[in-house]
Amino acid sequence: MADPVKNAKGSAQQATAAAARTAGKAGQAAGLAGEVARKKGEEAKTALTSATATAGTAATAGLAAVKRRKKLAAGAAGGLVALLAGAFALGRTTARD
């Protein structure tokens, strides 16, 4: 006949070993999840840094354009006058022929 005390002791040892394996697997899974979270955090940091740099560059260019708006307006007006003068001269030359 089987000894219940001996069987209970063996079952307890098996349960303890199974619990230890489960805890080890849970620890590995937690470690992997932490690694994935760390990588995602680094990717997010890189994306944020890139977006910040792009926005900073655009803001700098916009600020430079605002500071030089009089020169830009004068240059655009000068270009328009030159274009109209060229069209007028071309029209007069065509009309003579």
Residue 7 has pLDDT above 70, yes or no: no
Predicted pLDDT at 13: 73
Domain ranges (residues) in the chain: 4-96
Across residues 7-24, what is the average pLDDT?
Answer: 71
Predicted pLDDT at 23: 75
Burial pattern 23-54, b for ≥16 Cβ within 10 A else e, equals: eeeeeeeeeeeeeeeeeeeeeeeeeeeeeeee
Tell how far CA 8 is from the center of its chain. 58
Confidence of residue 6 (pLDDT cuts 50, 70, 90): low
Across residues 18-47, what is the average pLDDT?
Answer: 78
Predicted pLDDT at 73: 86
Q: Which position has the higher pLDDT, 55 or 19?
A: 55
